[in-house]
A = this chain, B = another copy of it.
Amino acid sequence: MRRWVLLCCWFSVGLSVNAQVTYQNLKKANPHNWLAYSGSYTSQRYSLLNQIDVGNVQRLVPAWIFHAQKEEKLECVPIVVNGVMYVTQEAGVVYALDAQTGRLIWSYHYPPIPPGENRGSNRGVAVYGNRVYFTTQDAFLVALDARTGNFLWRSKIAEAKEGYWAPAAPLALNGKIITGVAPGDYGMIGVIVAFDATTGKQLWRWSAVPKPGQPGNDTWAGDSWKQGGGDTWLTGSYDPELNLIYWGIGNPAPDFNGDVRKGDNLYTDCMVALDADTGKLKWYFQFTPHDTADWDAVEIPVLVDRAFDGGMRKLLVQADRNGFYYVLDRTNGKFLHGTPFVRELNWASGLTKEGRPIRIPGVEASLEGTKVCPSVDGATNWMSPAYSPETGYFYLEALEGCQLQLKASQTFRPGGYPYDATGVMEVPNAPLQTYVRALDLTTGKLQWEYKLIGAREYGAGVLSTAGGLLFAGSPQGSFIAFNAKTGKVLWHFNTGQGISASPMTYSFRNKQYVTVAAGSDVMAFRLFEASQ
Protein backbone atom coordinates (compact mmCIF):
# COMPACT_ATOMS: atom_id res chain seq x y z
CA MET A 1 0.00 0.00 0.00
CA ARG A 2 2.74 2.39 0.94
CA ARG A 3 4.59 1.73 -2.32
CA TRP A 4 1.50 2.50 -4.28
CA VAL A 5 0.93 5.80 -2.53
CA LEU A 6 4.51 6.81 -3.24
CA LEU A 7 4.23 5.98 -6.90
CA CYS A 8 0.95 7.75 -7.28
CA CYS A 9 2.33 10.93 -5.83
CA TRP A 10 5.62 10.83 -7.55
CA PHE A 11 3.96 10.86 -10.91
CA SER A 12 1.51 13.54 -9.95
CA VAL A 13 4.35 15.91 -9.17
CA GLY A 14 6.60 14.88 -11.98
CA LEU A 15 10.01 16.42 -12.32
CA SER A 16 9.35 19.43 -10.18
CA VAL A 17 11.13 17.65 -7.34
CA ASN A 18 14.31 18.91 -8.99
CA ALA A 19 15.14 21.60 -6.47
CA GLN A 20 17.89 23.69 -8.09
CA VAL A 21 18.15 26.28 -5.38
CA THR A 22 21.08 28.57 -6.16
CA TYR A 23 22.83 31.17 -4.05
CA GLN A 24 21.23 33.77 -6.31
CA ASN A 25 17.81 32.31 -5.47
CA LEU A 26 18.61 32.53 -1.80
CA LYS A 27 19.80 36.11 -2.03
CA LYS A 28 16.72 37.27 -3.88
CA ALA A 29 14.01 34.73 -3.24
CA ASN A 30 11.04 34.29 -5.51
CA PRO A 31 8.15 34.91 -3.09
CA HIS A 32 6.40 31.80 -4.44
CA ASN A 33 8.98 29.74 -2.59
CA TRP A 34 9.98 29.75 1.06
CA LEU A 35 13.64 28.86 0.92
CA ALA A 36 14.98 29.44 4.43
CA TYR A 37 13.96 28.80 8.02
CA SER A 38 13.21 32.49 8.55
CA GLY A 39 12.00 33.06 4.98
CA SER A 40 15.13 34.88 3.78
CA TYR A 41 18.61 35.90 4.89
CA THR A 42 17.16 38.95 6.64
CA SER A 43 14.90 36.70 8.75
CA GLN A 44 12.10 39.23 8.40
CA ARG A 45 9.53 36.49 7.83
CA TYR A 46 7.78 38.93 5.52
CA SER A 47 6.29 37.56 2.31
CA LEU A 48 5.54 39.64 -0.79
CA LEU A 49 2.61 37.35 -1.57
CA ASN A 50 -0.65 39.26 -1.34
CA GLN A 51 -3.32 37.03 -2.85
CA ILE A 52 -4.56 36.50 0.71
CA ASP A 53 -5.17 39.94 2.21
CA VAL A 54 -7.07 41.85 4.87
CA GLY A 55 -10.10 41.96 2.58
CA ASN A 56 -10.42 38.26 1.85
CA VAL A 57 -8.68 36.42 4.66
CA GLN A 58 -12.06 35.39 6.04
CA ARG A 59 -12.24 33.09 3.03
CA LEU A 60 -9.20 31.15 4.23
CA VAL A 61 -9.93 27.43 4.67
CA PRO A 62 -7.83 24.33 5.24
CA ALA A 63 -6.58 22.90 1.95
CA TRP A 64 -5.00 19.75 3.33
CA ILE A 65 -3.48 18.14 6.42
CA PHE A 66 -0.34 16.05 6.65
CA HIS A 67 0.00 13.93 9.75
CA ALA A 68 3.49 13.06 10.97
CA GLN A 69 4.04 9.41 11.67
CA LYS A 70 4.66 9.79 15.36
CA GLU A 71 2.73 11.78 17.90
CA GLU A 72 5.34 14.49 18.23
CA LYS A 73 4.92 18.19 18.62
CA LEU A 74 6.29 19.47 15.31
CA GLU A 75 8.45 22.59 15.56
CA CYS A 76 9.71 22.74 11.99
CA VAL A 77 9.18 25.52 9.48
CA PRO A 78 8.38 23.94 6.11
CA ILE A 79 10.66 24.81 3.21
CA VAL A 80 8.91 25.04 -0.18
CA VAL A 81 10.72 24.84 -3.52
CA ASN A 82 8.61 24.92 -6.69
CA GLY A 83 5.62 23.13 -5.23
CA VAL A 84 7.51 20.64 -3.10
CA MET A 85 7.44 21.02 0.68
CA TYR A 86 10.09 19.62 3.01
CA VAL A 87 9.28 19.08 6.67
CA THR A 88 11.07 17.31 9.52
CA GLN A 89 10.12 15.44 12.63
CA GLU A 90 12.23 15.33 15.77
CA ALA A 91 13.12 11.65 15.46
CA GLY A 92 15.13 12.29 12.27
CA VAL A 93 12.38 11.88 9.72
CA VAL A 94 12.28 14.13 6.63
CA TYR A 95 9.20 14.26 4.41
CA ALA A 96 8.87 15.68 0.90
CA LEU A 97 5.24 16.59 0.22
CA ASP A 98 3.26 17.79 -2.75
CA ALA A 99 2.64 21.36 -1.54
CA GLN A 100 -0.65 21.48 -3.42
CA THR A 101 -2.25 18.36 -1.93
CA GLY A 102 -0.16 17.35 1.08
CA ARG A 103 0.54 13.95 -0.44
CA LEU A 104 3.79 12.25 0.46
CA ILE A 105 6.42 12.17 -2.28
CA TRP A 106 9.18 10.56 -0.25
CA SER A 107 10.24 10.15 3.33
CA TYR A 108 13.68 9.55 4.79
CA HIS A 109 14.24 7.96 8.18
CA TYR A 110 17.55 8.65 9.86
CA PRO A 111 18.72 5.57 11.77
CA PRO A 112 16.90 5.49 15.08
CA ILE A 113 18.49 7.15 18.07
CA PRO A 114 18.91 4.73 21.01
CA PRO A 115 15.97 4.74 23.43
CA GLY A 116 16.15 7.50 26.01
CA GLU A 117 18.42 9.55 23.76
CA ASN A 118 15.64 11.41 22.00
CA ARG A 119 16.40 14.98 22.92
CA GLY A 120 13.68 17.03 21.36
CA SER A 121 12.83 19.09 18.40
CA ASN A 122 14.00 19.41 14.85
CA ARG A 123 13.20 22.74 13.23
CA GLY A 124 13.48 21.93 9.55
CA VAL A 125 15.72 21.59 6.51
CA ALA A 126 17.81 23.79 4.24
CA VAL A 127 17.70 23.19 0.48
CA TYR A 128 20.65 24.09 -1.72
CA GLY A 129 21.30 22.87 -5.23
CA ASN A 130 19.55 19.53 -5.45
CA ARG A 131 20.22 18.64 -1.85
CA VAL A 132 18.20 18.72 1.32
CA TYR A 133 20.15 19.23 4.57
CA PHE A 134 19.07 18.59 8.12
CA THR A 135 20.66 18.09 11.53
CA THR A 136 20.29 15.12 13.83
CA GLN A 137 19.93 14.12 17.44
CA ASP A 138 23.45 12.70 17.34
CA ALA A 139 24.82 16.01 16.04
CA PHE A 140 25.39 15.23 12.37
CA LEU A 141 24.59 17.30 9.32
CA VAL A 142 22.93 15.00 6.76
CA ALA A 143 22.58 15.62 3.02
CA LEU A 144 19.82 13.94 1.00
CA ASP A 145 19.02 13.98 -2.69
CA ALA A 146 16.08 16.42 -2.91
CA ARG A 147 14.51 14.46 -5.77
CA THR A 148 14.48 11.05 -4.13
CA GLY A 149 15.26 11.44 -0.44
CA ASN A 150 18.29 9.20 -0.94
CA PHE A 151 21.06 9.57 1.60
CA LEU A 152 24.18 11.27 0.21
CA TRP A 153 26.52 11.89 3.14
CA ARG A 154 26.68 12.97 6.74
CA SER A 155 29.25 15.12 8.54
CA LYS A 156 29.80 15.30 12.25
CA ILE A 157 29.01 18.71 13.73
CA ALA A 158 30.06 17.73 17.23
CA GLU A 159 30.54 14.60 19.33
CA ALA A 160 27.24 13.10 20.47
CA LYS A 161 29.00 10.98 23.07
CA GLU A 162 30.08 14.18 24.78
CA GLY A 163 26.44 15.26 24.96
CA TYR A 164 25.92 17.31 21.82
CA TRP A 165 22.90 17.18 19.56
CA ALA A 166 21.64 19.42 16.79
CA PRO A 167 18.06 20.71 16.38
CA ALA A 168 18.42 23.77 14.12
CA ALA A 169 17.48 24.17 10.49
CA PRO A 170 20.80 24.74 8.68
CA LEU A 171 21.64 28.00 6.90
CA ALA A 172 22.69 27.63 3.24
CA LEU A 173 24.78 30.27 1.49
CA ASN A 174 27.26 30.42 -1.32
CA GLY A 175 28.38 26.80 -1.35
CA LYS A 176 28.27 26.42 2.42
CA ILE A 177 25.91 24.87 4.95
CA ILE A 178 26.22 26.43 8.39
CA THR A 179 24.70 25.17 11.60
CA GLY A 180 25.05 24.96 15.37
CA VAL A 181 24.48 22.67 18.33
CA ALA A 182 22.72 22.08 21.63
CA PRO A 183 22.79 21.77 24.63
CA GLY A 184 24.96 24.25 26.43
CA ASP A 185 22.78 23.73 29.50
CA TYR A 186 24.65 20.49 29.97
CA GLY A 187 28.08 22.07 30.11
CA MET A 188 29.00 21.58 26.45
CA ILE A 189 30.59 24.48 24.61
CA GLY A 190 28.57 25.70 21.64
CA VAL A 191 30.02 25.79 18.14
CA ILE A 192 29.04 27.21 14.78
CA VAL A 193 30.33 25.05 11.94
CA ALA A 194 30.43 25.58 8.16
CA PHE A 195 30.49 22.66 5.72
CA ASP A 196 31.07 22.45 1.99
CA ALA A 197 27.58 22.07 0.52
CA THR A 198 28.75 19.54 -2.06
CA THR A 199 31.21 17.37 -0.19
CA GLY A 200 30.24 17.86 3.44
CA LYS A 201 33.82 18.76 4.31
CA GLN A 202 34.18 21.06 7.31
CA LEU A 203 35.29 24.55 6.18
CA TRP A 204 35.52 26.36 9.47
CA ARG A 205 34.49 26.04 13.07
CA TRP A 206 33.91 28.77 15.63
CA SER A 207 33.70 28.11 19.36
CA ALA A 208 31.32 30.15 21.47
CA VAL A 209 33.65 30.06 24.47
CA PRO A 210 37.24 31.26 24.02
CA LYS A 211 40.14 29.10 25.19
CA PRO A 212 42.97 30.39 27.42
CA GLY A 213 45.06 32.88 25.44
CA GLN A 214 42.14 33.87 23.24
CA PRO A 215 40.35 37.21 23.71
CA GLY A 216 37.45 36.87 26.12
CA ASN A 217 38.76 33.87 28.04
CA ASP A 218 39.42 36.25 30.93
CA THR A 219 35.65 36.68 31.35
CA TRP A 220 35.60 33.19 32.88
CA ALA A 221 37.04 32.68 36.38
CA GLY A 222 39.53 29.86 36.60
CA ASP A 223 38.72 26.82 34.49
CA SER A 224 35.02 27.60 34.34
CA TRP A 225 35.23 28.21 30.57
CA LYS A 226 35.67 24.46 30.11
CA GLN A 227 31.99 23.76 30.72
CA GLY A 228 30.95 27.17 29.55
CA GLY A 229 27.83 26.43 27.52
CA GLY A 230 26.90 28.90 24.80
CA ASP A 231 24.37 26.97 22.71
CA THR A 232 23.91 27.75 19.04
CA TRP A 233 20.58 25.96 18.61
CA LEU A 234 18.63 28.31 16.35
CA THR A 235 19.35 29.49 12.83
CA GLY A 236 21.24 32.70 12.21
CA SER A 237 20.73 35.46 9.66
CA TYR A 238 23.06 36.66 6.90
CA ASP A 239 24.04 39.86 5.14
CA PRO A 240 25.49 38.92 1.71
CA GLU A 241 26.83 42.44 1.18
CA LEU A 242 28.84 42.43 4.42
CA ASN A 243 29.33 38.65 4.09
CA LEU A 244 28.56 38.37 7.80
CA ILE A 245 26.41 35.78 9.51
CA TYR A 246 24.62 36.78 12.70
CA TRP A 247 24.02 34.10 15.28
CA GLY A 248 22.53 34.23 18.76
CA ILE A 249 24.47 32.39 21.48
CA GLY A 250 22.94 30.50 24.39
CA ASN A 251 23.35 30.82 28.13
CA PRO A 252 26.40 29.94 30.23
CA ALA A 253 26.58 26.71 32.21
CA PRO A 254 25.77 25.90 34.90
CA ASP A 255 22.54 27.80 34.27
CA PHE A 256 21.56 29.04 37.69
CA ASN A 257 24.75 29.01 39.70
CA GLY A 258 26.96 31.87 38.59
CA ASP A 259 29.30 31.56 41.60
CA VAL A 260 31.39 28.90 39.87
CA ARG A 261 31.90 30.99 36.72
CA LYS A 262 32.47 34.58 37.82
CA GLY A 263 32.85 37.12 35.03
CA ASP A 264 30.83 38.15 31.98
CA ASN A 265 31.16 34.68 30.42
CA LEU A 266 31.73 35.62 26.79
CA TYR A 267 30.32 34.83 24.27
CA THR A 268 27.32 33.39 26.06
CA ASP A 269 24.09 35.40 25.66
CA CYS A 270 25.70 37.35 22.81
CA MET A 271 24.84 38.20 19.25
CA VAL A 272 27.93 37.41 17.20
CA ALA A 273 28.84 38.45 13.67
CA LEU A 274 31.14 36.00 11.89
CA ASP A 275 32.80 36.26 8.50
CA ALA A 276 30.89 33.73 6.39
CA ASP A 277 34.02 32.54 4.59
CA THR A 278 36.36 32.17 7.53
CA GLY A 279 34.22 31.99 10.66
CA LYS A 280 36.29 34.79 12.13
CA LEU A 281 34.54 36.90 14.77
CA LYS A 282 33.85 40.38 13.44
CA TRP A 283 31.95 41.74 16.45
CA TYR A 284 29.82 40.68 19.37
CA PHE A 285 27.20 42.24 21.60
CA GLN A 286 26.33 40.68 24.95
CA PHE A 287 22.73 41.01 26.09
CA THR A 288 23.03 39.44 29.53
CA PRO A 289 26.53 39.43 31.01
CA HIS A 290 26.94 36.73 33.66
CA ASP A 291 23.48 35.27 33.14
CA THR A 292 22.01 33.20 36.01
CA ALA A 293 18.51 32.84 34.56
CA ASP A 294 18.95 30.61 31.49
CA TRP A 295 18.30 33.47 29.10
CA ASP A 296 19.81 32.12 25.89
CA ALA A 297 20.22 34.87 23.32
CA VAL A 298 19.54 32.51 20.41
CA GLU A 299 16.37 34.45 19.41
CA ILE A 300 16.31 35.14 15.69
CA PRO A 301 18.18 38.33 14.69
CA VAL A 302 16.14 40.35 12.18
CA LEU A 303 18.05 42.45 9.65
CA VAL A 304 16.45 45.68 8.45
CA ASP A 305 17.88 48.54 6.37
CA ARG A 306 16.19 51.63 7.63
CA ALA A 307 16.53 55.25 8.60
CA PHE A 308 17.69 55.64 12.17
CA ASP A 309 18.74 58.85 13.85
CA GLY A 310 18.74 60.74 10.59
CA GLY A 311 20.61 58.34 8.31
CA MET A 312 20.05 54.98 6.62
CA ARG A 313 21.44 52.27 8.82
CA LYS A 314 22.00 48.55 8.49
CA LEU A 315 20.13 47.49 11.62
CA LEU A 316 19.93 44.21 13.49
CA VAL A 317 17.06 43.95 15.94
CA GLN A 318 16.43 41.28 18.52
CA ALA A 319 13.77 40.74 21.18
CA ASP A 320 15.84 38.95 23.78
CA ARG A 321 14.81 36.29 26.22
CA ASN A 322 15.92 38.69 29.00
CA GLY A 323 12.94 40.98 28.27
CA PHE A 324 14.67 43.82 26.40
CA TYR A 325 14.26 44.70 22.74
CA TYR A 326 17.54 45.77 21.11
CA VAL A 327 18.44 47.77 18.03
CA LEU A 328 22.06 47.31 16.92
CA ASP A 329 24.15 48.56 14.02
CA ARG A 330 24.90 45.32 12.25
CA THR A 331 28.04 46.62 10.56
CA ASN A 332 29.85 46.95 13.89
CA GLY A 333 27.58 45.64 16.65
CA LYS A 334 27.10 49.09 18.16
CA PHE A 335 24.14 49.42 20.52
CA LEU A 336 21.67 52.01 19.23
CA HIS A 337 18.59 51.52 21.35
CA GLY A 338 16.99 49.17 23.85
CA THR A 339 13.75 49.01 25.81
CA PRO A 340 11.71 46.38 27.67
CA PHE A 341 9.02 44.60 25.63
CA VAL A 342 7.40 42.90 28.62
CA ARG A 343 5.81 44.48 31.69
CA GLU A 344 7.10 41.76 34.02
CA LEU A 345 10.80 42.63 34.20
CA ASN A 346 12.39 43.05 37.63
CA TRP A 347 16.06 42.16 37.26
CA ALA A 348 17.39 45.36 35.61
CA SER A 349 16.34 48.98 35.88
CA GLY A 350 17.39 49.75 32.33
CA LEU A 351 20.32 49.67 29.93
CA THR A 352 23.45 51.82 29.88
CA LYS A 353 24.22 53.80 26.74
CA GLU A 354 26.41 50.89 25.68
CA GLY A 355 23.44 48.56 26.11
CA ARG A 356 24.65 46.81 29.25
CA PRO A 357 21.83 45.98 31.70
CA ILE A 358 21.74 47.96 34.94
CA ARG A 359 21.16 45.11 37.35
CA ILE A 360 19.00 45.40 40.43
CA PRO A 361 21.06 43.81 43.18
CA GLY A 362 19.73 40.57 44.61
CA VAL A 363 17.32 39.79 41.80
CA GLU A 364 18.91 36.55 40.69
CA ALA A 365 18.84 32.86 41.52
CA SER A 366 19.55 32.27 45.20
CA LEU A 367 19.69 29.36 47.59
CA GLU A 368 16.30 30.34 49.07
CA GLY A 369 14.68 31.13 45.74
CA THR A 370 14.21 34.60 44.28
CA LYS A 371 11.34 35.87 42.18
CA VAL A 372 12.84 36.74 38.82
CA CYS A 373 10.94 38.15 35.85
CA PRO A 374 10.97 37.15 33.01
CA SER A 375 10.75 33.44 33.82
CA VAL A 376 13.30 30.86 32.80
CA ASP A 377 11.34 30.43 29.56
CA GLY A 378 12.17 34.04 28.86
CA ALA A 379 10.16 36.99 27.64
CA THR A 380 10.29 35.24 24.29
CA ASN A 381 12.11 32.16 23.09
CA TRP A 382 12.68 30.19 19.93
CA MET A 383 9.36 31.24 18.36
CA SER A 384 10.25 33.36 15.34
CA PRO A 385 9.51 37.11 15.18
CA ALA A 386 8.63 38.97 11.99
CA TYR A 387 8.95 42.46 10.53
CA SER A 388 6.71 44.21 8.05
CA PRO A 389 8.23 47.01 5.95
CA GLU A 390 4.68 48.22 5.33
CA THR A 391 3.74 48.85 8.94
CA GLY A 392 7.28 49.31 10.19
CA TYR A 393 6.40 47.01 13.09
CA PHE A 394 8.33 44.17 14.64
CA TYR A 395 6.04 41.31 15.68
CA LEU A 396 6.53 38.55 18.21
CA GLU A 397 4.91 36.28 20.74
CA ALA A 398 5.91 37.48 24.18
CA LEU A 399 5.59 35.66 27.48
CA GLU A 400 4.75 37.62 30.62
CA GLY A 401 5.54 36.05 33.98
CA CYS A 402 7.94 35.37 36.81
CA GLN A 403 9.41 32.39 38.56
CA LEU A 404 11.23 31.52 41.73
CA GLN A 405 14.79 30.84 40.69
CA LEU A 406 16.89 28.64 42.92
CA LYS A 407 20.64 28.47 42.81
CA ALA A 408 21.08 24.71 42.36
CA SER A 409 24.14 22.56 42.24
CA GLN A 410 24.64 21.13 38.78
CA THR A 411 26.79 18.17 37.96
CA PHE A 412 27.78 17.56 34.37
CA ARG A 413 28.53 14.14 33.01
CA PRO A 414 29.70 13.72 29.44
CA GLY A 415 27.19 12.27 27.03
CA GLY A 416 24.37 11.83 29.50
CA TYR A 417 21.29 13.78 30.31
CA PRO A 418 23.20 15.94 32.55
CA TYR A 419 22.21 18.54 34.93
CA ASP A 420 20.65 18.25 38.33
CA ALA A 421 17.60 20.29 37.65
CA THR A 422 15.93 19.41 40.94
CA GLY A 423 14.85 22.54 42.69
CA VAL A 424 16.15 24.84 40.02
CA MET A 425 12.89 26.73 39.89
CA GLU A 426 9.31 26.65 41.02
CA VAL A 427 6.24 28.15 39.43
CA PRO A 428 4.47 30.64 41.68
CA ASN A 429 0.76 31.27 41.73
CA ALA A 430 0.71 33.75 38.91
CA PRO A 431 0.42 31.88 35.62
CA LEU A 432 2.53 32.79 32.61
CA GLN A 433 0.66 34.56 29.83
CA THR A 434 1.40 34.69 26.11
CA TYR A 435 0.71 37.76 23.96
CA VAL A 436 1.08 38.60 20.30
CA ARG A 437 2.72 42.02 20.21
CA ALA A 438 3.59 44.62 17.59
CA LEU A 439 6.48 46.96 18.42
CA ASP A 440 7.67 49.96 16.50
CA LEU A 441 10.88 48.70 14.92
CA THR A 442 13.12 51.60 15.86
CA THR A 443 11.65 52.61 19.23
CA GLY A 444 10.41 49.24 20.44
CA LYS A 445 7.23 50.98 21.59
CA LEU A 446 4.15 48.75 21.88
CA GLN A 447 1.73 49.36 19.01
CA TRP A 448 -0.85 46.69 19.75
CA GLU A 449 -1.14 43.40 21.60
CA TYR A 450 -3.43 40.40 21.72
CA LYS A 451 -3.75 38.08 24.71
CA LEU A 452 -3.73 34.42 23.77
CA ILE A 453 -5.34 31.57 25.68
CA GLY A 454 -2.74 29.29 27.19
CA ALA A 455 0.91 29.89 27.84
CA ARG A 456 3.44 27.24 28.64
CA GLU A 457 4.51 24.16 26.71
CA TYR A 458 3.98 25.87 23.39
CA GLY A 459 4.99 28.99 21.61
CA ALA A 460 4.40 29.83 17.99
CA GLY A 461 6.20 32.21 15.68
CA VAL A 462 4.61 34.86 13.51
CA LEU A 463 4.47 35.66 9.79
CA SER A 464 3.79 39.00 8.08
CA THR A 465 2.63 39.36 4.49
CA ALA A 466 2.17 41.98 1.83
CA GLY A 467 -1.54 41.28 2.19
CA GLY A 468 -1.42 43.44 5.33
CA LEU A 469 -1.67 40.37 7.54
CA LEU A 470 0.06 38.93 10.55
CA PHE A 471 -0.39 35.20 11.24
CA ALA A 472 0.17 33.73 14.70
CA GLY A 473 -0.64 30.49 16.51
CA SER A 474 -1.79 29.96 20.06
CA PRO A 475 -0.63 27.42 22.66
CA GLN A 476 -4.21 26.19 22.74
CA GLY A 477 -4.44 25.52 18.99
CA SER A 478 -6.00 28.54 17.33
CA PHE A 479 -4.34 29.74 14.13
CA ILE A 480 -5.10 33.44 13.85
CA ALA A 481 -4.83 36.17 11.19
CA PHE A 482 -4.55 39.77 12.38
CA ASN A 483 -4.67 43.07 10.58
CA ALA A 484 -0.95 43.75 10.86
CA LYS A 485 -1.51 47.47 11.33
CA THR A 486 -4.30 47.43 13.91
CA GLY A 487 -4.07 44.03 15.58
CA LYS A 488 -7.70 43.28 14.79
CA VAL A 489 -8.46 39.56 14.56
CA LEU A 490 -9.74 38.89 11.05
CA TRP A 491 -9.83 35.08 10.98
CA HIS A 492 -9.06 32.06 13.09
CA PHE A 493 -9.25 28.27 12.90
CA ASN A 494 -9.24 25.66 15.67
CA THR A 495 -6.53 23.20 14.63
CA GLY A 496 -7.18 20.97 17.64
CA GLN A 497 -3.54 20.92 18.74
CA GLY A 498 -1.24 23.39 20.44
CA ILE A 499 0.90 25.27 17.92
CA SER A 500 4.65 25.21 18.59
CA ALA A 501 5.96 26.18 15.19
CA SER A 502 6.22 29.26 13.03
CA PRO A 503 3.86 29.76 10.07
CA MET A 504 5.10 30.33 6.50
CA THR A 505 3.55 31.06 3.13
CA TYR A 506 4.16 30.06 -0.49
CA SER A 507 2.28 29.90 -3.72
CA PHE A 508 1.91 27.25 -6.38
CA ARG A 509 -0.08 27.36 -9.60
CA ASN A 510 -1.28 30.87 -8.78
CA LYS A 511 -2.64 29.98 -5.38
CA GLN A 512 -1.18 31.31 -2.16
CA TYR A 513 -1.03 28.93 0.80
CA VAL A 514 -0.35 29.67 4.46
CA THR A 515 1.01 26.73 6.41
CA VAL A 516 1.69 25.95 10.03
CA ALA A 517 2.63 22.84 11.96
CA ALA A 518 0.02 22.31 14.68
CA GLY A 519 0.89 19.53 17.09
CA SER A 520 1.68 16.51 14.96
CA ASP A 521 -0.02 17.88 11.83
CA VAL A 522 1.17 20.20 9.08
CA MET A 523 -1.85 22.19 7.90
CA ALA A 524 -2.05 24.22 4.69
CA PHE A 525 -4.71 26.89 4.18
CA ARG A 526 -5.78 28.70 1.05
CA LEU A 527 -8.62 30.92 -0.10
CA PHE A 528 -11.86 29.06 -0.53
CA GLU A 529 -13.00 28.17 -3.98
CA ALA A 530 -15.82 25.83 -4.73
CA SER A 531 -13.91 23.68 -7.18
CA GLN A 532 -11.24 22.58 -4.75
Q: Which A residues are within 8 Å of any B CB, using their own CB? A: 1, 4-5, 8, 58-59, 61-62, 64-67, 70-71, 101-103, 431, 453-457, 475-477, 493-497, 519-522, 528, 530-532
Contact = CB atoms under 8 A, between A and B. Distances in A.
Nearest to A432: B1
B453 A5 contact: yes
A377 to B, nearest CB: 13
Given A5-B453, A58-B532, 19 more contacts: A1-B431, A1-B456, A1-B475, A4-B453, A58-B531, A59-B528, A62-B62, A62-B493, A64-B493, A65-B495, A65-B497, A65-B521, A66-B496, A67-B495, A67-B497, A67-B519, A67-B521, A102-B496, A496-B522
Contacts of A67: 477, 495-497, 519, 521
B65 A8 contact: no
- Count the copies: 2
A62 B493 CA distance: 9
7 contacts: A1-B431, A1-B454, A1-B457, A1-B475, A64-B494, A65-B496, A102-B494
Contacts of A454: 1, 4-5
Contacts of A8: 453
A477 B497 CA distance: 19
A13 to B, nearest CB: 14
A102 B493 CA distance: 10
A528 B61 CA distance: 8
Contacts of A456: 1
Contacts of A70: 71
A402 B154 CA distance: 44
**A-side interface mostly:** loop
- Which of A70, A103, A519, A521 has the most chain B CB atoms closer than 10 A to its own CB? A521
A243 B102 CA distance: 49
Top 10 A-B pairs ranked by shortest CB distance? A71-B71, A65-B496, A67-B496, A61-B61, A64-B494, A58-B530, A62-B62, A67-B497, A528-B528, A66-B496
A64 B477 CA distance: 10
A65 to B, nearest CB: 4
A531 B57 CA distance: 10
Nearest to A475: B1
- Which of A62, A70, A71, A457 has the most chain B CB atoms closer than 10 A to its own CB? A62
Nearest to A530: B58
A41 B454 CA distance: 42
A210 to B, nearest CB: 42
Contacts of A1: 431, 453-457, 475-476
A28 to B, nearest CB: 33
A66 B59 CA distance: 21
- Which of A8, A101, A453, A477 has the most chain B CB atoms closer than 10 A to its own CB? A477
Contact of A65 (B102, B457, B494, B528): B494
Contacts of A66: 496
Contacts of A522: 496
A493 B518 CA distance: 18
Given A8-B453, A71-B71, A496-B102, A61 B64 contact: no
A408 to B, nearest CB: 26
Nearest to A8: B453
A55 B431 CA distance: 50
B59 A530 contact: yes
Contacts of A528: 59, 61, 528, 530
